[in-house]
Amino acid sequence: MKRIVLAAAVAAGLMSSATAAPPPKVVNAVDGIFAAFDSHPLVGLGEWHNLAQELAFYPALLRDPRFAAQVGNVVLEVGDAAQQGVIDRYVAGDDVPYTELRKVWSDTVGWFPTVEMMGSINLYAEIRQINAALPPERRIKVWLGEPPIDWAQIKDKAEWEVLEKQRDSHPVELIEREILAKGKKALMIYGVGHFGIYPGYDNIRALLDKNHPGALFTVSPYVGYGQKDCAARFERHIRKWPVPALVSPIRGTALEKDIFRKGCNAFAQADIPDAAFEMSGRNNLGLTSDALLYLGPRAGLLKGPADPDIYLDGAYRAEMDRRMVLRTGQHLTGSGPAGNPAVPKPFF
């Protein structure tokens, strides 16, 4: 009888282990990104804007010799396509006056009041430096993803709104024409909202999935939880993850159930209407992405420094204020030295 009971217990245990979800793979983040490029022409890094650790990861990825050799293209949300010729000259090593170069990130359609993250701005200089050591045919090509705009010609909000509505369709058309149609590969660095799943929102991911299913591999940074109980439960399971790490797949593994429980989100419930809370949680915690980029626990995530031009250059600030009033009806406030301390601040 004991043998029968033991045999039944062993069989039950085997059935349980056979049906349990497998764990995800946790690998060095740079290696994981290149592994994704083996099977996808496009990798989208979802950005939490001004997350210092994420901004520091980009140069490490681009400086790896495999990037120029195997990928060679990067599409950036923080640049105005009207300035494509300017950035082409700059990353090729040409001398470009700073006031001309600054238009690359300041003359954008969708940034309020403009792009201020030093890590994003520095990325152009990083690529210029990388390219200096490469022959012309091997250099990294930067594609500016924001719709082209001439701010001097924008006189009212309606004119701006026409371009604002193209912030997802324009980069998709660019990628279809310059990357996919030519059999190339590209890294895309865009805000996480452009790669999330939202009903009725034809963002970059939705448009690419519709026209080129399977082409895009999406990565979301792990940013933790706005609820202490959710964070305490999950983060004790990931203490041994290296930094930075790429963790995939999410769906169909033990990570899918572990990372998301009802009531868990990167934000507090009060910040989001009830109807959107669960969908927002799945997007912001990475469940709708193909992989997580782990940069450390939430408590250690930092906010990057800001570009001081907006409070050091009076004429520049006045123009950014004009654009803010045109778009929102409100004058530019903040964006001063008090919000840009020398000592890094927590991201959350």
Pairing of strands 216-221, 141-146: unpaired
Mean pLDDT of 230-251: 93
Mean pLDDT of 321-336: 97
Write the pLDDT tens digit of every residue in 249-295.
999 999 998 998 888 899 886 666 666 777 888 899 999 999 999 99
Q: CATH number of the domain that 328 lies in? A: 3.40.50
- Whether 173 maps to a domain, the answer reads yes
- Whether 13 maps to a domain, the answer reads no
Mean pLDDT of 68-94: 98
Does 7 score more than 60 pLDDT? no
Confidence bin at 1 (pLDDT 50/70/90) = very low
Mean pLDDT of 161-176: 98
- Whether 11 maps to a domain, the answer reads no
Does 65 score more than 70 pLDDT? yes
Does 185 score more than 70 pLDDT? yes
Q: How many domains does the chain have?
A: 1
- Whether 252 maps to a domain, the answer reads yes
Mean pLDDT of 229-256: 92
- Whether 233 maps to a domain, the answer reads yes
- Whether 81 maps to a domain, the answer reads yes
Does 145 score more than 90 pLDDT? yes
- Whether 7 maps to a domain, the answer reads no
Mean pLDDT of 295-322: 97
Q: What is the predicted pLDDT for the residue at 63?
A: 98
Does 200 score more than 90 pLDDT? no
Q: What is the predicted pLDDT for the residue at 189?
A: 98
Q: What is the predicted pLDDT for the residue at 272?
A: 66
Mean pLDDT of 72-91: 98
Q: What is the predicted pLDDT for the residue at 142?
A: 98
Q: What is the predicted pLDDT for the residue at 342?
A: 93
Does 12 score more than 80 pLDDT? no
- Whether 2 maps to a domain, the answer reads no
Q: What is the mean pLDDT of the chain?
A: 92
Does 164 score more than 60 pLDDT? yes
Range of lowest pLDDT (4-8, 48-52, 81-85, 99-103): 4-8
Domain span at residue 90 reads: 23-335
